């Protein structure tokens, strides 16, 4: 072996040793980093989503405002943060969303209003700006075309509906339409004229702001009633708050419908009526509610059974069972179910599938459990011995995801 060959072999061995050391060193760093990402006692792991980027943050702070200050994450007063900056942090893990405020130019006819808004829908932006928006108004959002003159941002254009007074068989109400003519308005509102109906303006007459358009029926008595349209309620199960927490994020508003009847009279008394018109005056607004759903000392496979006291002071004996649940899903409107990360079987609304005593907890009623809110889909023989007991569906025996 020559001297040059000897040094060449030594160089290769040294290089391989260095690469091996670096590889195991990186592996060790990754393992340490992965271990350190787990929240220790008193720590919280925040997964922060900010304008398309995601970062993790371990903190002992009790509010997001404090955590952001420590981590030097800037937040403008106009930005929207969920959960709230001053909400008390009690769980060990949180998903945090930061919606950054951006400049929005609202064009409303001849009026231009510039605002900074974190919202992404026209209704929310307009409401934050203190402006009214009717169901018949049309909105369009686009990138600001005049970057030089107005800067980066969004342009929100409102095409206002025409306001007029609608007289429907004697009942007057303020209405709005995008229709150009009276005939367009009738079609938009779903109003079908009968052979005995008369309209106060020609069908091809233009609809003008402030005008009155009346409809009446000749030779018959008619009456128009204003009826409320109930609003729907959307319940969001919030794992950041304990069971029993309830907050109305957006208040619901009832809608309004105008229902007209032809009244049949006999000897001065009403003996019958026939519906002739049914139009929507205003659409209802959905109420959005946050419902606390964070588990408290939850049932687990290792426990097998336990007791949980709900917010009403009722003690429930809890057990679990692992059976396919497809047969009972039709009990509450159908749909499918899935297995949550902790093994609980939940419906499409996020409620744990529960077996309970039907006489105390009717089918489809919502109940509190140690693992979160549940909905009663099933019952069992245990219900006679433990009338307040719950059997929670969980994938803890078969581990087959069903």
Domain at 70, CATH number: 3.10.20
Say if residue 378 is in the same domain as residue 328. yes
List the domain range (segments joined by +) for residue 216: 162-289
* Last residue within a domain, chosen from 53, 84, 99: 99
Q: Which residue has tokens 């943060």?
A: 81
Asked if 320 and 391 touch (Cβ cutoff 8 Å), the reply is yes
**pLDDT at residue 11, rounded to an integer:** 44
Q: How many domains does the chain have?
A: 4
Same-domain pairing of 189 and 244? yes
Residues 192 and 219 in one domain: yes
Do 204 and 179 lie in one domain? The reply is yes
14 CB-contact burial (10 Å; exposed 0-12 / middle 13-18 / buried 19+): exposed
On whether residue 33 sits in a domain, the answer given is: no
Q: pLDDT category, 94, cuts 50, 70, 90?
A: confident
Given 254, 289, 324, which residue is the final one in a domain?
289
Does 81 score more than 50 pLDDT? Answer: yes
What is the SS3 assignment for 121? coil
Residue 35 above 80 pLDDT? no
Distances (CA, A) of 213 to 171, 174, 196, 208: 11, 10, 17, 10
Average pLDDT over residues 119-136: 93
Q: Does 180 share its domain with 282?
A: yes
Q: What is the dihedral of CA 183, 186, 190, 194, to 10 degrees?
A: -90
Do both 181 and 219 map to the same domain? yes
Are 215 and 257 part of one and the same domain?
yes
- Would you state the pLDDT for residue 388? 96
Residue 268 has a pLDDT of 67
Residue 342 has pLDDT above 60, yes or no: yes
pLDDT cut 70: percent of the chain above it:
88
The region of weakest confidence among 107-111, 155-159, 296-300 is: 296-300
- Asked whether residue 122 is assigned to any structural domain, the reply reads yes
Indicate whether 22 belongs to any domain: no
The answer to whether residue 400 is domain-embedded is no
Share of the chain above pLDDT 90, in %: 65
Query: pLDDT tens for residues 203-248?
Result: 999 999 999 999 988 877 889 999 999 999 998 888 878 888 889 9
What average pLDDT score do residues 247-268 get? Answer: 88
| Best CA proximity match to 263, nearest among 216, 218, 220 | 220
Helix (H) or strand (E) holding 29: helix 3-36
Residue 363 maps to a domain: yes
- Domain membership flag for residue 19: no
The stretch 10-16 carries a mean pLDDT of: 42
List the structure tokens of 266: 């006999």
């Amino acid at each position: 072996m020559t001297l040059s060959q000897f040094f060449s072999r030594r160089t290769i061995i040294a290089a391989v040793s260095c690469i091996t050391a670096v590889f195991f060193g990186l592996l060790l760093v990754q393992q340490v980093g992965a271990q350190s990402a787990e929240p220790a006692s008193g720590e919280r792991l925040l997964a922060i989503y900010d304008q398309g980027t995601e970062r993790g943050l371990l903190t002992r702070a009790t509010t997001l405002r404090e955590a952001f200050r420590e981590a030097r994450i800037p937040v403008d007063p106009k930005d929207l943060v969920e959960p709230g900056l001053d909400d008390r942090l009690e769980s060990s893990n949180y998903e945090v969303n930061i919606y950054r405020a951006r400049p929005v130019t609202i064009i409303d006819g001849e009026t231009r209003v510039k605002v900074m808004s974190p919202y992404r829908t026209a209704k929310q932006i307009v409401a934050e700006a203190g402006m009214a928006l009717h169901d018949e108004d049309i909105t369009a959002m686009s990138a600001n075309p005049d970057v030089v003159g107005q800067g980066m941002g969004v342009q929100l254009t409102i095409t206002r509906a025409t306001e007029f007074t609608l007289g429907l068989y004697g009942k007057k109400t303020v209405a709005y339409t995008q229709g150009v003519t009276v005939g367009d308005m009738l079609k938009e509102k779903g109003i079908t004229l009968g052979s005995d109906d008369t309209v106060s303006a020609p069908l091809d007459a233009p609809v003008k702001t402030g005008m009155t358009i009346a409809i009446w029926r000749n030779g018959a008595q008619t009456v128009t009633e204003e009826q409320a349209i109930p609003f729907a309620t959307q319940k969001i199960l919030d794992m950041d708050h304990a069971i029993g927490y309830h907050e109305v994020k957006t208040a619901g508003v009832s809608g309004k419908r105008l229902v007209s009847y032809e009244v049949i009279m006999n000897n001065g008394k009403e003996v019958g009526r026939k519906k002739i018109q049914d139009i929507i005056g205003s659409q209802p607004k959905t109420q959005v509610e946050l419902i606390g759903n964070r588990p408290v000392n939850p049932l687990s496979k290792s426990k097998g059974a336990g007791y949980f006291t709900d917010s009403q002071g009722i003690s429930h004996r809890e057990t679990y069972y692992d059976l396919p649940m497809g047969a009972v899903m039709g009990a509450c409107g159908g749909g499918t179910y899935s297995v949550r990360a902790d093994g609980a079987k939940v419906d499409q609304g996020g409620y744990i599938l529960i077996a309970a005593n039907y006489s105390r907890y009717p089918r489809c009623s919502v109940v509190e459990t140690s693992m979160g809110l549940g909905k009663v889909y099933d019952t069992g023989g245990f219900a006679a011995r433990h009338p307040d007991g719950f059997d929670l569906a969980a994938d803890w025996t078969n581990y087959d995801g069903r």
